[in-house]
Structure 1
Amino acid sequence: MGFARTCSVTLVGVEGVVVEVQADLEPGVAAFTLVGLPDKSLTESRDRVRAAVVNSGGEWPQKKLTVGLSPASVPKAGSGFDLAVACAVLGASERIDPRVLSDIVMIGELGLDGRVRPVRGILPAVLAAADAGFEQVVVPECAAAEAALVPGVSVLGVRSLRQLVAVLTDEPVPDEEPQEPDRPDPLMAGLRDLGGGAITGMSGGPGRCDQGHDLADVVGQHTARTAVEVAAAGGHHLFLEGPPGAGKTMLAERMPSILPPLDRQASLEVTAVHSVAGLLPPGRPLIDTAPYCAPHHSATMQALVGGGPGTARPGAVSLSHRGVLFLDFSDC
């Protein structure tokens, strides 16, 4: 009989909840039971974890295995529990010292070959771990920069389960090929390539959420520019009226360029929302400028306010937090 526990984090909206992952091994017919209100993707972690452990050179315990996710009353979603489940099982089978695992939070999806893949919401997950008093976090290597934004937390970025096991057992760390760059999430990467950072499948309606324009590029439009500057200075709402081609969109999408840079707390808030949505720009773990979001006039309610099947995704209102939300009804 063996028992081990470690921790991971589930997301409820854009807030993280620390979850204790417990693994218990007992004599009996070999079976793997996962309890604690897991969703479909988390239930499938049984097969991912088993294959990852075996393909990483480990031995899968041929006993009755029960993995519990506590608190059991909180729904768990996503594949980010894979790393914690694998290490808890290895701890219960005494491949890893269980005492080493109890104070570590682990977040990451496992491939069948044992590679650690990134998941959405690393920043809010690490923030929740820090608020709960944890000081050590393990994340995919490509998300280590995002996790390191949280002060007071020691971040270990790993490329594979083999590397993590080696670190936890004080063995030589094997060399692994780095993950291909700019591929944190194939779905969201594909949506981002649709032009200007398009957002479609996430929230049920087409839209745009991008930056890069400067109000200094505008020639003329003195009255409209004054209105934009006053609204930006005072944090006011702004109503732009005029015929198509008058310059409403041109002025609105340049409004973020005259907003002040986000302070540290605001940057973490904005980055957390975009992290949950899977829309963090590659190589830019911290968003420190005001975001701009312009959903299409045909966008659904879910696209505007967030939602969707399973775990709710941020909508345009949330993605424009601390920035500019432009609602254009000229084409209606």
Structure 2
Amino acid sequence: MPAQYRRHVLLALFLTLSAGLGCALLVERNGWAAPSSLSSPAGAAHMVDAFEAVSGPQPGFRRNHAKGLCVSGRFDSNGQGVALANTGLLRTGSYPVTGRFSVVGGNPSVNDTQGGMRSLALDISNGGETWRMALNSSPVFFVRTPEALLEQLQASVPADGREARIRHFRRDHPESQAFEDWMAAHRPSTGFDNAAYFSVNAFRFNSADGQEHLVRWRLQPETPYAPLSDEQIAQNDPDMLSYGLASRLAEGPLRWHLILTPALPGDPVNDATQLWTQPGHQEIDAGVLVIDAQQPQMDGPCRDIDFNPLILPPGITPSDDPLLQARGAAYAESHRRRVREMAGQ
């Protein structure tokens, strides 16, 4: 792996705050302190301030995943998912989708070759129910708790001594090793179209017969994965991903299968830093996401959507993963600020 690209990937480890990446963090001029509740409105406001401390203010843009593009299509459910969750969006049918592909970080002008992650956010609706997802191209997250994210952001703020702070953070948080190992073994895909996207966190699925299942899911592309080459990295194309997606869509719609994976006894359901490695997991193919159009994010249909992963349909609720409630509060605060800034512009 080229040294320059390796540096970009390591930086992404600290700037990817994802599957959504929401927690409340406080930046103070003379130090760092956690608000009393990292999922409270006040804590979420401090978190958004902290994102701006890392990437600089970008009025009107999302505080993370600032660079992206809108897409639209449908979710064709085959009905098999209702065995796990009694929700209308998993019953047999076709449901409209608005989505957004993006790269990590708060800079809307970031070069597409500089990040190791791709992300996909979705809004699936049947007119009465809505399911929003915030998915990353890594199946695990870098830290387990909002408090650890606070330390991560402290290490990442551009200032003297940042490299030493990052080394200390990694030493103090060995749970981050699984993410680093996965990133080292999986080069980013050549495009948005041939990446798999993961929920990272587990969610509770409640079936019609009263059974509860803790579930992670992924969107598995029909387009075969291809890793980014050294030559592509060296070309340093700033908009490689958006141009590539437009070219692929010109050939026809793109498809991903929604794969639901219920936990087995003993799986770490409240720890997003750990893979589920036990043998014998059931995987349910619940249907196909079809993306057939791309739009610019500045005036496209995804612009005003808050892709809060806690906006869930009946039959699906959050797990006890400590990251989830903090994510929801942060998404709401970031959306509120963007709306205000766009109105001012």
Compute the TM-score of the two structures, normalised by the length of structure 2. 0.24
Higher strand share: 2
Q: Which has the larger radius of gyration?
A: 1
Compute the TM-score of the two structures, normalised by the length of structure 1. 0.25
